[in-house]
């Protein structure tokens, strides 16, 4: 039998202590000699609330296992398969997690302080309010995971893969993030990276708050728009209209990805409708009250960075073709 808890299905199939110990004894034999004993199978078994500290679960089949509130401190989980396991509020302090599969698992409020392992797979996991301090997780994958309100302080995350992850309100102070991949990570603006080594980090499409980068080493972010001088830019407005802009020399500009270029002001040179005819006015895709008028200078409305992130500015792309390729959607996420 399984019990539903939110989006997770909790395993409720119990085994008694003698059966648990029998499986662990057979597993220990199998680890020494694969022709003896039997690999531990805890697939969809309820092991919640148990003291499993220091036990050797390496290579065990633990898919869908219920480990809520369990004590796994110092346990060996190397190469174990915990796909879709529930580890809510579990204690994995000091656990060994070389190659461990946590894909699609629930790790909310789990403690992974001082855990150690390489190439651990945390892809697609929910890790809200996790503590992962002073851990060694080189080359770990957090692809598309929810790691909100997590604390990674002091951890070694060299070459870790965070592409598409949600970082909201997490802490990476004094972490080793060299050569990590943060491309397209979400809500990084509210994440604290103070005093971390970010040499070689790839962060395309990522929005950082400068206040949260104090003492950071090595972070290089290539600019995708001209840093000096005036230049021509383009944007798409409502009804498929294309606006040709002049970004003046004195305008502040920023853009750490092809899709994030913005300027503090712009002069409207031309406006074209879908048929390519010249028109006098266009309306912002996001704000129906923000208009672009031919011959006028536009200045964006100020936004609260604490609420919206670092998004203030006239959004633009660098070619007409790029502007035309943007879909005609009124609910676009672009901002002026």
Q: Which are the contacts of 241, defined by CB distance < 8 A and separation ≥ 6?
A: 271, 272, 273, 274, 279, 282, 283
Name residue, tokens 């708050």.
209
**Could you give phi then psi for residue 139, rounded to 5 degrees?**
65, 20
**pLDDT score for 309:** 57
Cα dihedral angle (142, 146, 151, 156), rounded to 10 degrees?
Answer: 10
- Give tens-digit pLDDT for 185-233: 999 989 999 999 999 999 987 888 889 999 999 998 777 888 899 999 9
DSSP three-state, residue 329 = coil
User: pTM here?
Assistant: 0.75
What share of the chain has pLDDT > 90, as a percent?
Answer: 76
Cα dihedral angle (109, 63, 17, 6), rounded to 10 degrees?
Answer: 50
Name residue, tokens 């009124």.
330
- Give tens-digit pLDDT for 70-117: 999 999 999 999 999 999 999 999 999 999 999 999 999 999 999 999
Name residue, tokens 């400068």.
210
- Give tens-digit pLDDT for 264-301: 999 999 999 999 999 999 999 888 889 999 999 999 88
């Amino acid at each position: 039998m399984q019990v539903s808890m939110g989006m997770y299905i909790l395993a409720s199939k119990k085994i008694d202590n003698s059966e648990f110990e029998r499986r662990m004894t057979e597993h220990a034999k199998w680890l020494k000699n694969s022709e003896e004993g039997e690999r531990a199978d805890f697939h969809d078994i309820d092991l919640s609330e148990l003291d499993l500290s220091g036990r050797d679960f390496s290579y065990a089949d633990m898919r869908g296992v219920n480990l809520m509130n369990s004590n796994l401190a110092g346990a060996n989980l190397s190469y174990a398969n915990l796909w879709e396991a529930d580890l809510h509020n579990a204690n994995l302090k000091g656990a060994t997690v070389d190659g461990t599969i946590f894909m699609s698992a629930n790790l909310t409020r789990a403690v992974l302080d001082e855990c150690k392992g390489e190439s651990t797979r945390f892809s697609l996991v929910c890790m809200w309010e996790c503590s992962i301090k002073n851990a060694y997780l080189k080359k770990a994958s957090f692809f598309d995971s929810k790691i909100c309100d997590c604390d990674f302080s002091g951890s070694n995350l060299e070459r870790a893969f965070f592409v598409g992850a949600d970082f909201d309100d997490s802490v990476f102070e004094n972490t080793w993030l060299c050569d990590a991949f943060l491309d397209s990570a979400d809500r990084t603006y509210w994440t604290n990276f103070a005093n971390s080594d970010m040499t070689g980090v790839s962060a395309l499409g990522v929005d950082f708050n400068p206040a949260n980068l104090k003492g950071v080493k090595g972070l290089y972010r290539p600019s995708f728009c001209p840093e000096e001088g005036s230049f021509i830019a383009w944007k798409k407005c409502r009804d498929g209209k294309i606006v040709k802009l002049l970004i003046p020399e004195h305008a502040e500009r920023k853009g750490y990805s092809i899709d994030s270029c913005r300027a503090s002001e712009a002069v409207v040179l031309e406006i074209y409708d879908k048929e390519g005819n010249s028109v006098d006015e266009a309306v912002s895709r996001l704000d129906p009250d923000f208009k672009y008028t031919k011959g006028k200078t536009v200045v964006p409305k100020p936004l609260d960075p604490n609420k919206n992130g670092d998004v203030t500015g006239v959004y633009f792309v660098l070619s007409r073709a790029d502007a035309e390729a943007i879909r005609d959607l009124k609910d676009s996420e672009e901002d002026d």
